[in-house]
Amino acid sequence: MTVPTSLSVADVQVSFGGNHVLKGVNLTCEHSFTGLIGPNGAGKTTLFNVISGYVAPSSGSVHIAGRDATAASQTAVAAMGVGRTFQTPKLIGDISVLDNVLIGINGQATLFNQVREALFFSRSAGINRARARDVLAQFSLSDVADVEAASLPLGSQKIVEVCRALVADPTLLFLDEPAAGLGRDDVEHLVTPLRAWVEKHGTSVVIIEHDLELVTNLCEDVAVLHLGTIIARGTPTECMSHPQVIEAYLGVGVAKDT
């Protein structure tokens, strides 16, 4: 299912001292699932950090649904309808799974106000809890809603973080290596309900992932980032047969032989 363009990154550059991490990156999101792949150190997470307000670009621009988000804060970007997960789940370990998901409902608030709103003072707390439980149910996590988040295995924690990002019904969702460290069963428990969510809500998802089989099965469109530059764009098949991509992943000798 094609959705309206929700992300436009134009000529984004990021340097840390003399280290040029992003070198004029251009990226648009026009599909339900867009894959962002590339070898380690390519700059993929840095690009996510720029888009979501964690890192200011040295130059270039970011627009979300037509709105300039280049210099926006993390909370301002969240208020534009952007959700995000991280390579390592950032859950609060000593509160319940449900309470962790509730924090995602007011993504534009400070962490203190999120927790206060979700847990104690909101008149709509009952409605919010019902919504959070519904999202957990869609990802087959109802049975662990009331247990401490830290007690869950990594795979389940990653899926909880996806639930927390989805509970606010974002229009644009960034997933940073959601399948890393997950077994095949956990991947299926993530992907199947995520597909259903996207189909129902029209969410645009940009996913960083080293599991190329998952990217091929999930993404209609793929961008390959290498050494801070997009070197290929197209379908997964087109990208993975591109000589520069083969060279980036497997080395010059392999690229020449293919």
Q: Do 217 and 157 belong to one domain?
A: no
> In this structure, what CATH number is given to the domain that contains residue 57?
3.40.50.300
Residues 54 and 154 reside in one and the same domain: no
Residues 252 and 239 placed together within one structural domain of the fold: yes
pLDDT of residue 249: 79
For 4-40, write each residue's pLDDT tens digit: 468 999 999 999 988 999 999 999 987 799 999 999 8
Q: Are residues 117 and 157 in the same domain?
A: yes
SS (H, E, C) 29-91: EEECEEEEECCCCCCHHHHHHHHCCCCCCCEEEEEECCEECCCCCHHHHHHCCEEECCCCCCC
Please provide residue 233's backbone torsions phi and psi, each rounded to the nearest 5 degrees.
-150, 135
Same domain, 162 and 61: no
Q: What is the pLDDT of residues 73-113, one digit of tens each?
A: 998 999 899 999 998 889 999 999 999 999 998 654 455 55
**For residue range 102-156, what is the model confidence (pLDDT) as tens digits?**
999 865 445 555 565 555 555 667 888 899 999 999 999 999 999 999 999 988 9
Report percent pLDDT > 70 for the chain.
87
169 class by beta-carbon count within 10 Å (0-12 exposed, 13-18 middle, 19+ buried): middle
Using the 3D structure, point to which of 127, 148, 168 is the last residue of a domain: 168
Residues 76 and 114 in one domain: no
Domain match, 100 and 130 both: yes
Residue numbers of the domain that contains 131: 89-168
Confidence band of 184 (pLDDT split at 50, 70, 90):
confident
Domain tally, the chain: 2
Last residue of a domain, one of 151, 168, 185: 168
Rounded to 5 degrees, what are φ and ψ at 25?
-80, 135
pLDDT of 176 above 70: yes
- Examine the pLDDT at 243 and tell me if it is beyond 50: yes
- Pair (204, 218) in one structural domain: yes
180 and 140 assigned to the same domain? no
In contact, 178 and 209? CB cutoff 8 Å: yes
